[in-house]
Amino acid sequence: MNPSEEITAKARQWLLEPFDETTRAEVKDLIDHHPDELTECFYKNLEFGTGGLRGIMGVGTNRMNIYTVGMATQGLCNYLKRNFAGQSEIKVAVAYDSRNNSRLFAETVAGIFAANGVKVYLFESLRPTPELSYAVRRYNCRSGVVVTASHNPKEYNGYKAYWEDGAQVIPPHDKAIIEEVGKTAIESVKFNGPKELITVIGKETDEAYTDMIAGLTLSPESIRRQHDLKIVYTPIHGSGVELVPMALAKKGFTNIYHIPEQDVSDGNFPTVKSPNPEESAALNLAVQKAKETDADIVMGTDPDADRVGIAVKNDGGEWLLLNGNQAAAILVYYLVKRWGELGKLKGKEYIVKTIVTTELLAEIATHSKVPCYDVLTGFKWIADVLRRNEGKATFIGGGEESYGYLCSDAVRDKDAVMSCSYFAEIAAWAKDQGKTLFDVLLDIYLQYGFYKEGGISVVKTGKSGAEEIVAMMTRYRTNPPKSINGSPVVRITDYAQQISADLKTGKTTPVELPKSDVLQFFTEDGSKISVRPSGTEPKIKYYISVKEILPSVADYDKVNRILEGKIKQVAKEFSE
């Protein structure tokens, strides 16, 4: 299929200045020999969204390259200069992960900021995304950029923008930046600024960051007694390779097993199909090492080290990959319990979770009279609560079901370096009592109820599919289910209409969160089903959470099967 005249004309602009010779040659080759690929590269502009840029690397307006990155940076720069007009100096921090071209893009970003008179703190080599968040605050920056595509496939790279509090941008700044980037032409991008405006940072920031994490320790005596806890850690070819072991060592852990082939920083991620610790296959080599060494815990971080996957041995000695809800429950349980035991709960502490994360976190918090904030999906909304509570209340910890957690407001994004440090500490604390992390999970289920989560995605492709998804959400609103899996629906929360309705009393209460196309159904038996269209793919997503009482540890397998059956039935009802 030949590209349209409009696409071809757009591509021909890339045969001229300011595009470099290599880019021009690649575009000419596409025009002459690869019409289908030419269309994919130029049929639209790579969108700068609320999370920044993310896309396949290559030439063209719909690809990640120094020019699309350049226009994004110039647009961000224009907004910063307007927003902070009159200030003597604007500073930004820039970091990057192990992906192909990440260093090139980061140096391009730094050069553009410098060319616009902005002072830049550029990390000397790859660093975790949470350390970028920490650096923004440490160096009193107005913004920050990290070049990463998180756990996407190797063909991708991305660009995330941060605000002066170290969090990803939210309204009103996000939309204003998007607007500024949208009107930025390649001819207006100022490349290659003066080197004296770029300060290279590294070891000193690493030391401060990991010292901060070490200072969060709640059970130093347990760590001293269990310092030789057997920990298997893999960065999965990513940026956690130095910082996670450094943080663990500062905690006092002395027995860390590595996967040498995965300690190699490589954007091709050669040992895994996907560098996503949410997928069990990504931790296969680490679990294999754990079996060989009879380890106590396995931890694996994604390329930019903001998410962590945890594997533990169950009561049968088999290795089990915890899901994000289970890991979050263990973390929050430990934090709240230890804060209480240490007399740190003064009545002004809180935790935060996202609306699709397990209600078990809220149950744990409520039991200890600790407020639990619910926020929309996305860690920037957790950071927003931290921002609004600054100086008024103390953040204990929190997280989301997608393997992201945080335990200090010194960082304003999910932090796998900090999380690895804490999960190792919890394992040591548990072992000090003759328990495993799986035993801790069972303790939680016994005390608060056995919560189990699952999910489905229903794909609806094309224009008709998009229309069908809209129709489905409308149908759920106008004719909601009266019962789910035989249990009456007792409450419906609509985040688009910002109303939560108690179906027993008829009373409605306002939802004080930004509007979002999400519906939640709560049933009498404690189930929660969240429904939302995906913002990036042609699908509608269902998050299913079910609950049962766990009478005793001996009942675990039986109750687990009951919960699995519930999830299967709920999924069937919503996919029909």
Residue 351: DSSP 8-state = E
**Sequence-separated (6 or more) residues with CB below 8 Å from residue 374:** 352, 353, 354, 355, 362, 513
Please list the residues that pair with 199 across neighbouring strands.
121
Nearest Cα neighbor of 164 from 48, 79, 70 is 79
Q: Give the rounded distance of the alpha carbon of 78 from its chain centre.
A: 27
Whether 332 contacts 403, CB under 8 Å: no
Segment (H or E) for 519: strand 519-523
Long-range contacts, stretch 18-26, CB < 8 angstroms, 24+ apart: 18/186, 18/187, 18/189, 18/191, 19/67, 19/186, 23/59, 23/65, 23/67, 26/58, 26/59
Question: Taking the chain, what is the end-to-end CA distance rounded to the nearest angstrom?
Answer: 37
- Cis ω before 172 (30° cut-off from 0): yes
Catalytic choice (98, 150, 402, 530): 150
Q: Which two tokens stand for residue 559?
A: 């109750």
Nearest Cα neighbor of 127 from 117, 140, 138 is 138
d(CA 335, CA 353): 14
In angstroms and rounded to an integer, the radius of gyration of the C-alpha atoms of the chain is 24
**DSSP letters for 489-507:** EEEEEETTTTEEEETTT--
Q: Return the beta strands (E) in 330-434 as ranges.
A: 349-354, 372-375, 394-400, 404-406
Q: How far is CA 225 from CA 83, 228, 520, in A?
A: 52, 8, 45
487 is catalytic: no
The 3-class SS string of 145-201 reads: EEECCCCCCCCEEEEEEEECCCCECCCCHHHHHHHHHHCCCHHHCCCCCCHHHEEEE
* Enzyme catalytic residues: 150
